[in-house]
């Protein structure tokens, strides 16, 4: 509940809050003393900012070339330069291509049409360096390509010809240049074709289609980690998965089983 005296103050029209004098407020916002050479103190203007004072004395306010705060625009007197606006207005703008300008007299009668100048087509020189005239375009047919290949390479380079029924080769130089060799995979000989442009052995596709499983091997640190789990829990994979101290990566039972199989199984880990 409010004090009766304070309530009377609020109802009174003559009462007003005590205002602080301007001098007291100014004293609270006193500028700090300028510490520096005597010439700096004499030339310092308290009504200007620090940056403005430095610029007035010809000093750099900051060594940072991209200082924040922006820059002030230099105000130029309107009569300091000649009337350039009148000269700019008097000069006609260039006419864009595909358009024209109608010229009229004082009465508004059309007396002519001004069209833009057509650009000259660039002249293509048919001479190269040394004044030698260029010849016709190179023939990229299969016959010309065979002439460019050495006789030793003709045994494995096939151009414009189908090497087998399963692998039709497109014609053209650089696309169907292939090298054929033999590789022994799993005791069987596999013919390998290397495309010169893509450099991709076709034997990898044949090997993946053959169904031969590649044997994987566990790393040395993974084997040491699995030995600790097997020594602590034996063949209980579920207990290994719940062992927060040893199974720090929180491997699932399925992941642990696959890792043990890759390492050689429980017998190999126990024997080691």
* pTM of the full structure: 0.28
Query: CB under 8 Å to 184, separation ≥6 — which residues?
Result: 190
- 180 - beta bridge partners? 193
Q: What is the total count of domains within the chain?
A: 2
Cβ neighbours around 243 below 10 Å, total: 15
**Whether residue 200 sits in one domain with residue 154:** yes
In this structure, is residue 257 part of a structural domain?
yes
Tokens of 147: 């002439």
For residue range 142-165, list pLDDT tens digits in order.
676 777 777 777 666 665 554 545
For residue range 97-143, list pLDDT tens digits in order.
888 888 889 888 888 888 888 877 766 666 666 665 666 666 666 67
In this structure, is residue 67 part of a structural domain?
no
In this structure, is residue 192 part of a structural domain?
yes
Taking the alpha carbons at both ends of the chain, their separation in whole angstroms is: 87
Cα distances (angstroms) measured from residue 220 to each of 223, 226, 237, 272: 5, 10, 20, 12
Helices (H), the chain: 4-11, 22-28, 38-43, 50-56, 84-90, 142-148, 203-210, 220-233, 237-242, 253-263, 266-271
C-alpha 7, offset from chain centre: 70
The domain in which residue 225 lies consists of 220-271
Question: 66 or 89: whose pLDDT is higher?
Answer: 66
**Whether residue 238 sits in one domain with residue 202:** no
């Amino acid at each position: 509940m409010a004090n009766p005296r304070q309530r009377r103050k609020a109802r009174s029209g003559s009462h007003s809050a005590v205002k602080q004098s301007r001098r007291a407020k100014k004293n609270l916002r006193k500028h700090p003393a300028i510490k520096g050479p005597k010439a700096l103190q004499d030339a310092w203007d308290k009504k200007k900012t620090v940056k403005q004072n430095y610029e007035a004395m010809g000093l750099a306010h900051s060594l940072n070339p991209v200082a924040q705060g922006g820059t002030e625009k230099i105000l130029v007197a309107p009569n300091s330069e000649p009337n350039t606006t009148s000269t700019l207005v008097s000069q006609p703008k260039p006419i864009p291509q595909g358009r024209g300008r109608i010229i009229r007299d004082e009465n508004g009668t059309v007396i002519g049409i001004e069209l833009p100048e057509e650009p000259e087509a660039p002249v293509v020189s048919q001479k190269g360096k040394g004044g030698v005239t260029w010849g016709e375009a190179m023939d990229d047919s299969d016959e010309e390509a065979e002439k460019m290949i050495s006789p030793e390479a003709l045994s494995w380079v096939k151009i414009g010809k189908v090497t087998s029924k399963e692998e039709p080769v497109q014609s053209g130089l650089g696309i169907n240049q292939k090298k054929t060799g033999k590789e022994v995979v799993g005791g069987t000989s596999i013919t390998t074709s290397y495309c010169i442009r893509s450099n991709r052995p076709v034997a990898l596709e044949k090997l993946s289609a053959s169904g031969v499983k590649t044997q994987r091997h566990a790393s040395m640190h993974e084997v040491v980690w699995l030995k600790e789990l097997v020594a602590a829990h034996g063949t209980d994979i579920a207990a290994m998965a719940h062992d927060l101290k040893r199974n720090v990566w929180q491997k699932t039972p399925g992941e642990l089983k696959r890792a043990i199989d890759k390492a050689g199984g429980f017998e190999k880990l126990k024997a080691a």
